[in-house]
Amino acid sequence: MLSLSSQASAEPEQHSILVLGDSISAAYGIDLEAGWVALLDGKLTRSHPSYRVTNASISGDTTAGGLRRLPELLSRHQPAIVIIELGGNDGLRGYPIKQLRQNIEQMAQLSQAQGARVLILPMEIPPNLGKVYTDAFRQSFASAAESSGAHLGEFPLTDVALDPNLMQRDGIHPTAAAQPLILERVWQSLEQLL
């Protein structure tokens, strides 16, 4: 029979995954339980039961907003992994690329300083702001990952964004049917960090 102390050590240590995102991760326009973050939590329950997901995503959030909120979230949740899915709103508003990149770098560095591994999910924006801005926007995620040592994932809407059947009427937010595809895209990168 196990003593209380050996029982406690036999139980798997709990690890937190913090998702810091915008409407793409906050399940905008659909039930929260149908969003890719909730689906990730369910998948981890089955495949990696020591991990739990905290969704700290807010629709409309920017990298500056995420950076402001992150220190308190890190202190409260002590995550083993931080997934940063921010930047789309910066791009849609034409915010300066340098500031976008620096904000992502700082979020990654703050997370790493607390002992977390970091996954940056790059975003894409429509081409209406011009090729120079759009190309610089796209590159900013890779630059931030390289300079901070964070892991760069794939664009989570790769299989979704150009399929009108998988996008809501606004053309920006994915439908519930798209969420499993988003999860699979994220999982390909996240699995290496678990």
Q: Which residues are catalytic?
A: 23, 170, 173
Residues 52-71 as b or e (16 or more Cβ within 10 Å = b) = bbbbbbbeebbbbbbbeebe
Cβ atoms 79, 53 nearer than 8 A: no
- In contact, 61 and 127? CB cutoff 8 Å: no
Given a contact cutoff of 8 angstroms between Cβ atoms, the answer to whether 186 and 152 are in contact is no
Q: Which of 176, 118, 186 is nearest to 156 (CA)?
A: 186
